[in-house]
Every structure is written in structure tokens, then in C-alpha cells.
Amino acid sequence: MLLQVLGTAAGGGVPQWNCACPGCAGARAHPRRRRRHASLAVRSGGPGSRWHIVNAGPDIADQIESAPALLPGPGSRETPVAGVILTDAELDHTLGIARLREAEGLVVRATAPVRDALIDRLRLGDVLSPYTAIEWRELSEKPEALSTPGSIEVSALPVSAKRPRYAAGTGSDDPTWSVALRLHEPATGATAVYAPAIATWSDALDEAVRSADVVIVDGTFWDDDEPVRSGISTRTATATGHLPVVGPRGTSHRLAALRGRCLYTHLNNTNPLNDPAAAQHARLAERGLEVAAERMVIEL
């Protein structure tokens, strides 16, 4: 199994176009600190295997262009990208589907409430039908092979009933509005868990990460008070639907106890971890944890 990190930022990216906070100013002054919207590409390890993209943000085309393995060829319109898998219906993770409209066809896997929100509220089906055909496939807790039998299997791990603002008041409090993904390759036994946005540490997530070789987790905020302290919100991190890295509800102590490699992604522009010289990186390293880097490749 190969994992290609395409982006590691929360909504707006780093820098965010209308923000001059220290994190955004630092990214403008030091381009290597720039972060695109959190996304991941995955494929089986065998040659000729195709890639699936997890979450398609508004900068998805640029992310593909920066990853040589995802570039088209040898045919003029031959792409190794086979489809998209969604962990939720947030704009930051779905707007890129429209950017992929040049595809001859696109397979999108999503849970039922996420699919319904994109079709009924964002009208993605109506908007894109003149350009390409979208095949919607349900993402469930039951493992499903992404392509041929024996290839990587994906399954959903419910983590939250949090829905995007544009879908507020719709549907029930279904815990599959936001899910983590378990990616398992039967041929090698390799397993990865990708959880870019978690409001609760569910039993399903806890069980999955214990046996995973790699765990990539929501690192939106360093601590619970960060949104309030930085002035971007009147709500804490947990109130916005993101478990912080440290503190009583922090995830770092859980990750430190795991056997697999653990990395953080989905960093908000206010997170001190955006600065590679920040002391918070040393605190993570003491626990055997790290921050995912843009364009890094992880082979399992």
C-alpha cells in the first residue's frame, strides 16, 4: 500500500487568503510552510495500480500536479486517478469534485447522508451532469474493495453527527455524517486509518487504530482554547467538532500508546505546529508523534 499526502491544512489552507495571523504571515514569508487542504491518495503497492483520492478540496488539481505518480499518461487523457472517497460533506473536502469535471467519469464513495447533502443541497449531480458522469457508491462500515478483488479495502468508522453549515437542520443525527477511513490491503496485511476530522473518539475508531500500521489524525487545533485565544471563534476546539492535540480531551496521549506510526493532519492556520521551529514539535516527538508533511509518501 502506498499513501501520498496531498495536503495537510484545515479549511482555507495556510495561508488563508483573508488572514494575517502569525501562521499565515509565516507561510507567506516562507513558502515551504504553505499547506493545502487536507487530502490523501492511496493505491495498492503493485505496479499499474490506480489511485483513489480521499477528500477533494478546492485545490485538488494543484495537489495532483504536485504528485508525479498522479500525473496523466502515457495516453493523452489517461489518468491513474480512479475515484474519490469522502470522509464528510464539508466544503473543504468536496468542492474539488467540481474541479475534476474534465474526467470521462468519476466514482465517488460517500456515506448516505454525505451523498444526499451533496446531491440535494449542493446540487452537484445537476451541476456536473453536463460535464461528466458521477457514479455514487455507498461507503459503509463493511469493507469494500476499491477496484479488483484483493485490492485495498475501505470501510467507514463513524465518528460524528456533525454536518456542514449548508446542511444544518437536515436529516437525523446520523454518526456517519463524519467518518474516519480504515484502509486495509489483504495481500500484505497493511492497514492505515485516516481521520482528518474527529469530534469524538468513537469505539470503532479506537478499535481500528490499535491494529493499524499508520494512523493519520485530526490535528486542527493544538489545545481546546486555541480558537478563542486566537480570536477566530467564541467556541472551543471541541465545540467546533475537533478534538485538540493536547489537554484533557486531547488525542496525543491516545496516539502515543499505539504501536503504529502516528501523524497529524488538517492543521488550522492558528496552530503553532505550522511553524517547523515551534516547541510543540519537540513535545510530539517525545511521544513518538509527528506532523504529516506535504507530498510525503508512506509505503506499507
CATH code of the domain covering residue 52: 3.60.15.10
- List helix spans (H) across 133-233: 203-210, 226-230
The pLDDT, as a whole number, for residue 258 is 98
Cα–Cα dist 72/50, whole Å: 11
**E-strand spans in 63-177?**
81-85, 105-110, 133-138, 144-145, 153-160
Task: Give the three cell numbers for residue 231.
Answer: 480570536
Task: Give the three cell numbers for residue 144.
Answer: 469494500
Do the Cβ atoms of 252 and 209 come closer than 8 Å?
Answer: no
Sheet (strand 178-185) strand order: 144-145, 153-160, 178-185, 190-195, 214-218, 261-265, 289-291
The pLDDT, as a whole number, for residue 44 is 84
Cα–Cα dist 57/40, whole Å: 11
The pLDDT, as a whole number, for residue 151 is 86
The pLDDT, as a whole number, for residue 221 is 98
Domain that holds residue 270: 2-299
Torsion of CA 185, 186, 189, 194, to 10 degrees: 30
pLDDT average per 10 residues of sequence, the chain (300 residues): 97 96 96 97 82 97 96 93 96 97 95 96 95 96 86 95 89 90 96 97 96 98 97 95 97 98 98 97 98 96
Task: Give the three cell numbers for residue 31.
Answer: 513558502
Distances in Å between the Cα of 231 and the Cα atoms of 56, 173, 242, 270 are 28, 30, 17, 10
Please give the tally of structural domains in the chain. Answer: 1
214-218 and 190-195 strand pairing: parallel
The pLDDT, as a whole number, for residue 155 is 98
